[in-house]
Structure 1
Amino acid sequence: MSAPRFCSRLPAHVLMLGGLLCCSAASALNVRVLVLAAPSLTVRVPVAAPPVAPLPVYPAVPTPAPLQLAAWRVGVQGSGAGARLTLNGQDSGNATLYLPPTPGSVVEIGGKAYRGGVFLRTERGGVQAINVVNVEDYLRGVVASEMPSSWPAAALAAQAVIARTYVAARVNPALPYDTCATESCQVYTGLSSEKPATDAAIAATAGQVVAYAGKAASTYFSSDSGGFTASSAEVWGKDVPYLTAKADPFSAGGPRAQWRLEIPLSKVQDVAGRYRVRVGTLQAVTVTSVSASGRPQEISFTGASGVARISGADAGGFVRSLGAVSSRATLSGLNPLIVEGAGAGHGVGLSQYGALGLARQGYDHLHVLGFYYPGTSLSALAGGAEETRPVLALVRPLPSPASPGIFARSPAAPSWMTQ
């Protein structure tokens, strides 16, 4: 079997544009996604390069027909600076190998099919497989993984825009990849998760991103705000003007809208220790201060040898470390410690169940985005880029709840939203 047409590195004609790869000014942006890291892995690539075709128009183009693929076991030989990749046990002579994406191309990495190409590199004695894929194709494997495809079009469109924005904000040419494929970044499962409804949402919002001060915004999102979004300052200790705490009446009816936990004292003691609480056997755990969003901002621990307190982001971290799905919670009792809360996730930025609620009331995706990222603008990924980030073309400000009458088109909007 002859070796696949890998390049030993990213070819010179491939331009690094803010971490996004462009093969020419006319081609679409590509992103680099770490999909697998292992001591060795199997990559299946087309036996022959697929024919060049126009970029697909979603959702009319179906999933590509299976191509004849050749399997290659990729490993590592040597160590440190001398490490090189092997293909089916044979030394490739290189620490990196690159199979560029072409329109319609598909590769299989670790048993999962992905659109685009693959960049392989040695890392700490193992192999990293990085899917290099058109940003719109990447979203096809993200949006349906992060939000049910049965949800209304406006909610799916909002998810598509924030997913696109999220990856645009993360590009970094100094790093070997832009994003990962897990919940630590955005869940990306490739070809298997694509759905017509999410493909349509991606096509309808093609290129759209949320921007603030000329840059891609930090479009954090979580499952359910529990009725009140959290500020980035209270969760992570960093103030971001458009990631603020605000009442969110649209996040209602989710499966974890209300929940209750009973935590044994032994676990409470153990978790407190991880937050450097050293007061001996615990006698009381009390929330002594809450944020504007109702999340603990200071927790007091009384023990046999004194009193200790944790505050800020650590307070919320302690609650989540107990097993709570959200830090929007109250604490009572001790053995067990009763944790009662609302919502799921960190609560910063868009609430997915809130987007669902807004969409069901007739709001479009721009109003969804304007509600959760106040003061931002709708922008678009533009051709060309600076060395450090994609260039954004300003389109228009997003609707903001602070603007009089902005929700007037929806008769179901609560009165306080139009004041």
Structure 2
Amino acid sequence: MSASPTRKSGWAIIFIAIFFISPLKVIAAKEPIIRVLIGEENKARFRADGSKSIFVQGISSKQRPIKSINIVYGDDTASYSINNNLNSWFELPENFNLIIKNNDDRGIWFKNRRYAGELRVLLNDQKLQIINYLKLEKYLKSVVGSEMPKEFPLAALQAQAIAARTYALKLLGKNEVFDIHSTQASQVYLGLEAETAKTNRAVRSTTSLALFYENKLIEAVFHSSSGGRTENSGQVWKYQLPYLRSVIDYDQNSTKYRWSKKISSSELDKIFSDLGGLNSIQIKKKSNSGRVLVIKLYGPKGSKNISGKNLRKNLKLLSNKFDVNLKFNHINLENKLNSDDKAVGNSVLEPLPPITTDYFLLVEGYGSGHGVGMSQWGAKAMAERGANFRKILRHYYTGVQIKAY
């Protein structure tokens, strides 16, 4: 028996509903929520933006609309006050987990920034941990504007969006309490203030795209500027990954392509107190891209080898691609022989010049960051020469696929 015209039109409507509505629901459900650690404090204040309220769950049996909440932890007790009434404080239960949210696109204020999604406050390791829960794509709109100048070309911003998305996806669910830091410990996230129309466009136009190697998400690390050539991952971290190989960089117009730093003798005495200061410094080993791997330090109390990575951290340098010189002021380098100096063979033992307290260490370096993966200033230069985001990403991440996750 054939179906009647009424039945046919009914099936057509069902088909249209399944085809057009269901995929949208699947995509919406697929987008993960990311948990971003935005603060570890002894006290915190949250407030609404403007006349709207925030809602706090966990301070009473019902969700309460209020204008602001202050939370303080001290002497093993956490307390809160609401609506700036600092004369009235209430103790929180031992295992509290506050959820703060609102219905305002302008977000929730914490410190001097506004955040989308919801904020959760809990106690962990004697600190109030503030964790921002929000959808991944909303998070990325801030990250792109936080990590890369909004004036950069769209293709560079798109490349940053895909790298940041991949980096975040790789960390989802790895930690029990939160997924990712809001600082350079992971990738920088500065809340709603970092969003612009251009950075939002970069995220929207690359929605769901991520970087894969042999069908697995990659470690999509990136940095500001490599100083002419990126670094192999194995020279910086424990493993050499096949897609994080040294390649030529195009970052010559970076504001940090070349830099220098002077460190005074008094600062060096504090930094290298175990050596009694610094008498001499010698680079022992560099990588093929020119980054310092091993350096030897000499001081009045002895000598030691340290990694270029540790020296960078100790001296707060932009990168470990540098040369060093110890500069001494007012030293007479003319070593005149004393009357009792004796010749040994054809050479003469000359006294070393005295080390004065008036000296400094001059460090002259290149680039900013660890130098592995995508160079942000290099991406800018490639985009300005006409490269699209795919070409940029395939240059800095060797042999990767760019596809939906």
Same fold (TM > 0.5): yes
Q: Number of residues paired by the alignment?
A: 331
- Deviation, 1:125, is 3.7
The corresponding residue for 2:45 is 42
Instruction: Return the letter of the residue paired with 2:170.
Output: A
Which structure: greater helix fraction?
Answer: 2
Note the 1:212-251 alignment, pairs <5 A.
Answer: 212-248=213-249, 250-251=250-251
2:156 paired with 1:155: yes
Code of the residue aligned with 2:320 in structure 1: it is: S
Deviates further, 258-267 or 349-358: 258-267
| Structure 1: runs of 5 or more not aligned | 1-21, 50-67, 382-419
Contact 2:33 2:134 in 1 (8 A): yes
The alignment partner of 1:327 has SS state of: coil
Q: Which residue of 1 aligns with 2:377?
A: 353
Q: Distance in 1 between matches of 2:373 and 2:154?
A: 20
Aligned to 1:328: 321
The runs of 5 or more residues in structure 2 that have no matched partner are 1-24, 56-64, 83-88, 328-358
Bigger CA drift: 168-177 or 144-153? 168-177
Q: Note the alpha carbon deviations across 1:205-257, whole angstroms, 9 max, x for none.
A: 11111123433221111111000112222223432222222322x11111121
Higher gyration radius (CA): 2
Partner SS for 1:182: coil
Structure 2 distance, partners of 1:323, 1:75, is 33
- Aligned residue identity for 2:67: A
1:74 CA drift (Å): 2.9
AA aligned to 2:39 is L
CA deviations over 1:121-174 (Å, ceiling 9, x no partner): 122344222111111111111111111111100000011111111111122254
Distance 1:319 1:104 in 2: 41
Root-mean-square deviation over aligned CA pairs: 3.0
Alignment partner of 2:282 out of 272, 281, 286: 286
Is the Cα–Cα contact under 8 Å of residues 230 and 372 in structure 2 kept in the other structure? Answer: yes
Q: Secondary structure of 1:228's match?
A: coil
Question: Does structure 1 retain, via aligned residues, the 8 Å contact 2:53–2:102?
Answer: no
Aligned residue identity for 1:71: S
Where does residue 340 of structure 1 map in the other structure?
Answer: 364
Q: What is the CA distance between 1:302 and its match in structure 2?
A: 4.2
- Equivalent position SS for 2:310: helix
Whole-angstrom distance in 1 between the partners of 2:101 and 2:54:
13
Contact 1:272 1:318 in 2 (8 A): no
2:325 maps to a residue whose letter is: S
- TM-score by length of structure 2 reads 0.73
Give 1:195's aligned residue. 196
| Number of the residue aligned with 2:310 | 317
Cα deviation, 1:63-105, whole Å, max 9, x if unaligned, reads xxxxx962122345884xxx66645333454511235687958
Aligned partners of 1:288 and 1:44: how far apart in 2?
54
Normalising by structure 1, what TM-score? Answer: 0.70
Superposition map of 1:135-154 within 5 A: 135-154=136-155
Misfit runs of 4+, over 6 Å: 22-25, 100-103
The answer on whether the counterparts of 1:226 and 1:342 sit within 8 Å (CA) in structure 2 is yes
Name the stretch that deviates more: 334-343 or 144-153. Answer: 334-343
Does 1:74 pair with 2:71? yes
Of residues 29, 32, 35, the one that matches 2:35 is: 32
CA 320–226 in structure 1, closer or farther in 2 if over 3 Å, else same: farther
Residue 300 (1) aligns with residue 286 (2): no
Rate the CA distance shift 1:364–1:309 in 2: closer, same or farther, 3 A. Answer: same
Conserved? CA contact 2:54–2:100, under 8 Å: no
Paired AA for residue 70 in structure 2 = R
